[in-house]
Amino acid sequence: MNGIDKMEFTRFLPGPDGVAPAYYRMGELYFSTPEQMQQTFGSLEGQPASADLGNFASGGVTFMIGEVED
């Protein structure tokens, strides 16, 4: 999708005590502005990509939006 500045993907591991993590994976997408994020997800590429998440994220999806602080 156009408009993404950076992407990072994490697969969570068990904690030091061996307990399974609360989440399996995390994808972080970075945008230059909140407006760019809205434009990207509203685009012809972004809409079907967002709609497709449920087809492979069988455990569900939680979206969290935030800003990186300096």
Q: Which tens digits make up the pLDDT trace of 23-61?
A: 999 999 999 999 999 999 999 999 998 888 888 888 888
- 55 Cβ partners below 8 Å, 6+ apart? none
- Kindly report the pTM of this predicted structure: 0.81
Q: Are 43 and 2 in contact (CB under 8 A)?
A: yes
The domain spans of the chain are 1-15+23-45
pLDDT at 10: 97
What is the enclosing helix (H) or strand (E) of 36? helix 34-41
Q: What is the DSSP letter of 10?
A: E
| pLDDT score of 5 more than 90 | yes
Percentage of the chain modeled with pLDDT above 70: 100
